Amino acid sequence: MGRVKLETKYAVWGWLFVAPASLMIFIFSFFPMIQAFVLSLQSGRGNNLRFAGFRNYLRLLEDDQFRAAVGNVFTYLIIQVPIMLILALILATILNGQALKLKGIFRTLVFLPCAAGLVSAATIFKSIFSIDGLVNIALLKLNLITSPVSFLSDPVWAKAVIIIVITWRWTGYNTIFYLAGFQTIETSVYEAARIDGASAVQQFFKITLPLLRPVILLTTIMSTNGTLQIFDEVRTITGPNGGPGNATLTISQYIYNLSFLYSPQFGYAAAASYTILFMVAVLSFIQMKVGDKE
């Protein structure tokens, strides 16, 4: 009986310690989510809202701008996320090498882009890829082009610039996760593999990748989540409408425009917001099923 009472006492005190943080999370996270869902079931402009059921969600299926935004986001997702994660894994492998000198400096330099302000970094890249920017100057000097290229006015090149910016900023962030994962792998495993005659490539694919699977799964889910919500880079580089001609428009940007740039349609914007939640949930579920075989 004494043991049961002691365990009950610990449980009660545990809940008392957790309760304040749980309450704050509910008030500032889950309660707004519930309110947003209720709002998504209403239609109208400004504060003149009325219940509309799931009409806003059906309207999204016929919205050309929304479909363009979804297409753009999935283009970033399919191209940028694999490139970024592969680069991060390569960098982590190099930075984890035993023979590398000044590891601390190199690791800091790789992570440094993450510390830069989003708007500041996007503004710099916008300048670099402008008509009179460094990229055009370099290409002209090398005689690779005869006249400046308007990168931000071309739909394909504008997407490419966005992908470059996102990759530059977040590769170092994922590299740190992979470096942390490398620390959990015993060096004796690699030593045993070398004794057995395994090459560096075989060690990477037979030891490193399988043991890093949980970290790779985590970074994939986080990168997917972040890419689906991309906003600052696109708005700063290609403007509020995601030009040229909605070629770079993202879902988050469209939601912002519906709420603050156009005539306010808060219910419709809330419905669009919940589509991001649905996409993140579905993609995360698929990635968990594919990546976590256990």
Phi/psi of residue 98, nearest 5 degrees: -70, -30
Please indicate, yes or no, whether residues 224 and 108 belong to a single structural domain of this protein.
Answer: yes
Domain count, the chain: 2
pLDDT for 73: 95
Stretch 72-91: mean pLDDT, rounded?
A: 94
Please indicate, yes or no, whether residues 18 and 108 belong to a single structural domain of this protein.
Answer: no
Residue type (1 letter), 64 = D
DSSP state letters, 157-185: HHHHHHHHHHHHHHHHHHHHHHHHHHHTS
In the chain, the percentage of residues whose pLDDT exceeds 90 is 49
Pairwise CA distance, residues 74 & 281, whole Å: 15
Domain extent at residue 18: 2-40
CATH code of residue 172: 1.10.3720.10
pLDDT in tens, 155-172: 999 999 999 999 999 999
Question: CA angle, corner 190, sides to 187 and 194, nearest 5?
Answer: 140
Q: Which of 122, 125, 124 is nearest to 151 (CA)?
A: 125
pLDDT in tens, 237-292: 998 888 888 899 999 999 999 988 887 889 999 999 999 989 988 988 888 887 66
Please indicate, yes or no, whether residues 11 and 115 belong to a single structural domain of this protein.
Answer: no
pLDDT for 192: 87
Q: Is residue 54 one of the residues assigned to a domain?
A: no
Please indicate, yes or no, whether residues 97 and 240 belong to a single structural domain of this protein.
Answer: yes
Please indicate, yes or no, whether residues 135 and 274 belong to a single structural domain of this protein.
Answer: yes
State whether residue 43 is helix, strand or coil.
Answer: strand
Q: Is residue 55 one of the residues assigned to a domain?
A: no
Q: Is residue 53 one of the residues assigned to a domain?
A: no
Contacts for 268 with CB less than 8 Å, ≥ 6 apart: 43, 56, 59, 60, 258
Q: Is residue 133 one of the residues assigned to a domain?
A: yes
Pairwise CA distance, residues 289 & 53, whole Å: 33
Please indicate, yes or no, whether residues 67 and 154 belong to a single structural domain of this protein.
Answer: yes
pLDDT in tens, 25-45: 889 888 988 999 999 999 887
Return the minimum-mean-pLDDT range out of 57-61, 111-115, 122-126, 261-265.
261-265
Q: Is residue 272 one of the residues assigned to a domain?
A: yes
Name the pairing type of β-strands 48-51 and 42-45: antiparallel
Return the minimum-mean-pLDDT range out of 15-19, 55-59, 186-190.
186-190
Please indicate, yes or no, whether residues 110 and 31 belong to a single structural domain of this protein.
Answer: no
